[in-house]
Amino acid sequence: MTTLAPTMYERSFPHVSSAVRNITLILLGSWLVAFFAQIEILLPFSPVPITGQTFAVLLVGALLGSKRGAAAMLAYIAQGAAGLPFFAGGASGFGILTGATAGYLVGFIVASYVVGLLAERGMERSFKTSFVPFLVGTVIIYLFGVTWLSLIVGGFEKAIQLGLLPFVVGDAIKLILAGIALPSAWKMIQ
């Protein structure tokens, strides 16, 4: 891979250029999650919808790394809480942060950080090894989401039935899709 010589602007203002790039990537990551949150299938028996968010969370973590990935999730949550229609199905507002899906949102931050950390150690570079960080990230999202949901629905067993079991097959597909999408996405941000 050839490296281009820095431009005069980059030589004169190296920190500004880096900061602008980081902020841009963080915002783009948050908007990618918001976009995939609009893919929503409501389940009549569960307060948790099927969405494309987890796919985007895993991809953003792997692409941006631990710190920027977690920052992108914080930006996503902040923008949705501030009123932008970023949450599942276009929902917004601070109330989402105390509702049935709040634990999943917190899990997005931690999962993105951990997936990013594993990616920084080179685990996302191969289609085969990319499944490890994606699987770990998915487990983290479930851990936070189901734990919080258990407080809302009155028990851990019920939360597993409503917030985990209906999603396992779909999330397995998302893991595969994230592994497939990763090489193309890497080329876009390099």
**DSSP3 helix / strand / coil % (the chain, rounded to 5):** 75, 0, 25
CA separation for the pair 48, 88 (Å, rounded):
9
Fold entry, domain 8-189: Arp2/3 complex 21 kDa subunit ARPC3 (1.10.1760)
Please tell me the total number of residues recorded for the chain in this structure.
190
- pLDDT the model gives residue 16: 63
Vertex 139 angle, CA 57 and 35, to 5°: 20
- pLDDT the model gives residue 128: 74
Give the 3-state secondary structure of residue 152. Answer: helix
- pLDDT the model gives residue 17: 77
- pLDDT the model gives residue 93: 96
Q: Where are the domains of the chain?
A: 8-189
- pLDDT the model gives residue 10: 47
**Predicted structure pTM score:** 0.87
Six-digit token string for 149? 């949901």
pLDDT in single tens digits along all 190 residues of the chain: 445 545 444 454 566 678 888 999 999 999 999 999 999 999 999 999 999 999 999 999 999 999 999 999 999 999 999 999 999 999 999 999 999 999 999 999 999 999 999 988 887 666 677 788 999 999 999 999 999 999 999 999 999 999 999 999 999 998 888 877 776 666 666 5
